[in-house]
Amino acid sequence: MKNLFKTTCLLFAGLFLAAAQAADFAEGKEYERLSSAQPTSTPDKIEVVELFWYGCPHCYRLEPHIEQWLESKPEDVEFVRLPAVLSPRWELLARAWYTAELLGMTDQIHKPLFEAIHEDRERINTVEQLKAFFVEQGVAAEDFDKTFHSFGVAAKLNRAREMTQRYRVRGVPTLIINGKYRTSASEAGSHAAMIEVTNHLIEKERAAGD
């Protein structure tokens, strides 16, 4: 009986703590509501968009938290990676993501490119340097050239540039929840807290849709 009482107390304490933590997340503090809600790619699901730049060390440090979160991502949540384009200098590495995507090689390129830049300190500032990296990952040089300079990549880059502006992104990494809310490490407090805030907003959107 004593063990049952103890277990019950611990259960309620855990629920109370979780509720208290969720209640601590406030609009205007840990996250912002977008002034204008943006359309999502899958209206029947709750969309989470990660805006990133391969040259950003904070984006690299967020990745393990994203990967862990993806392992238990709910079925009603759609995750989308979107390379931010905050300046012309960011376009090269934004094209890298879309080139990998159209080649069907995001798994082979995404993490290794982050590691090459932030762990191996490789300089990838030109198309030729990026091409050499792709070739190292097993992509034929002609396939890289054809895809990198394709209309498809150019169209996706224009879309990324547009959405970076429409989401009012000021820095990366940034997470957009269901086209309505925006959070970042500076707002949430840490990379881990970004995930907690995201989960809170997913629950908020799920409750609103019930």
Token pair 């950003």: residue: 56
Confidence of residue 24 (pLDDT cuts 50, 70, 90): confident
Summarised one tens digit per residue, pLDDT across range 118-160 is 999 999 999 999 999 999 999 999 999 999 999 999 999 999 9
Kindly state the tokens that stand for 56: 């950003």
pTM of this structure: 0.88
> Which phi-psi region, left, alpha or beta, contains residue 26 (left: φ > 0; alpha: ψ -120 to 50)?
beta
Summarised one tens digit per residue, pLDDT across range 74-84 is 999 999 999 99
CA dist., res. 129 & res. 122, Å (int): 9
| CB neighbour burial string for 157-168, b if at least 16 within 10 angstroms, e if fewer | beebbebbeebe
Distance from the Cα of residue 49 to its chain's centroid: 5
Please determine, for residue 201, whether its predicted confidence score (pLDDT) is greater than 90. yes
Query: Could you give all domains of the chain from N- to C-terminal order, each with its CATH number?
Result: 2-209 (3.40.30.10)
